[in-house]
């Protein structure tokens, strides 16, 4: 009986693992992503290749943005890979106008009522809305992994450092729900948008980097 019970437990565990992995949904780099520029600033060069994104930022800054499909708006975890071949020096991420970073991944939530009326494809309006909450995972600065900072730009935005300034290739897996609770308290609303940026305008540096398509689950 013990052998039978162990076998059943193994099957159930395998089934659970397969079900969990099956729920992961990638956000491939396709026509659903659009570049959102910032006033009076030159744009980055983004080359979308389906499963990966190549980024060159040469004294420039802009945001590549897409609305989250309805099927993914309840996602609580995310994972991606990123690599930096050339990057900016360490900066103070809390200082407006001096916060260059190699790469940043944005996740934006809002309330169900607001989601119904906002255009999630317009990143600027969404990010500035009073009901929007944004977590920005950053490769840059000189703080230790997990450091949580206020954004110098928007009250509803928080920065979480994953990697300090430097080069290399890394894989990330983050608990969006736990990080949201730490940053803002409570449970997140609907995940309505995801963005990626590189920022080198303050230091006049050059960034050459890549990101794999984020998985949401």
Give the tokens for residue 92: 């103070």
Kindly report, residue by residue over 182-206, the tens digit of the pLDDT. Answer: 999 999 999 999 999 999 999 999 9
Q: 50: pLDDT confidence band, cut at 50, 70 and 90? A: very high
The answer, yes or no, to whether residue 179 has pLDDT greater than 80, is yes
Dihedrals phi, psi of 127, to nearest 5 degrees: -65, -30
| pLDDT, position 165 | 98
The answer, yes or no, to whether residue 55 has pLDDT greater than 70, is yes
- What is the average pLDDT across 86-111? 96
The answer, yes or no, to whether residue 170 has pLDDT greater than 60, is yes
Kindly report, residue by residue over 129-140, the tens digit of the pLDDT. Answer: 999 999 999 999
- Whats the size of the chain, residue-wise? 217
- Summary mean pLDDT of the chain: 89
| pLDDT, position 36 | 87
Sorted by sequence, the CB contacts under 8 Å of residue 114 that are 6+ apart come out as: 129, 131, 132
Domains present along the chain, CATH in parentheses: 27-216 (2.60.120)
The answer, yes or no, to whether residue 124 has pLDDT greater than 90, is no
């Amino acid at each position: 009986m013990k052998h039978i019970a162990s076998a059943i437990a193994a099957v159930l565990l395998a089934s659970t693992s397969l079900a969990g992995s099956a729920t992961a949904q990638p956000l491939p780099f396709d026509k659903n992503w659009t570049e959102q520029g910032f006033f009076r600033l030159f744009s980055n060069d983004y080359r979308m290749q389906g499963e990966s994104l190549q980024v060159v930022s040469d004294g420039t800054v802009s945001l590549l943005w897409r609305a989250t499909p309805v099927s993914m708006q309840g996602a609580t975890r995310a994972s991606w890979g990123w690599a930096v071949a050339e990057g900016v020096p360490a900066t103070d991420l809390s200082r407006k106008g001096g916060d260059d970073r190699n790469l940043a991944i944005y996740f934006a939530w809002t309330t169900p009522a607001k989601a119904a009326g906002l255009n999630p494809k317009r990143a600027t309006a969404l990010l500035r809305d009073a009901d929007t909450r944004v977590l920005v995972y950053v490769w840059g600065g000189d703080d230790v992994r997990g450091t949580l900072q206020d954004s110098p730009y928007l009250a509803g935005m928080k920065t979480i450092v994953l990697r300090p300034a430097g080069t290399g290739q890394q894989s990330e897996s983050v608990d969006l729900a736990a990080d949201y609770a730490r940053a803002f308290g409570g449970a997140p609303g609907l995940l309505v948008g995801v963005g990626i940026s590189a920022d080198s305008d303050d230091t006049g540096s050059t960034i050459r980097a890549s990101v794999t398509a984020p998985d949401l689950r």
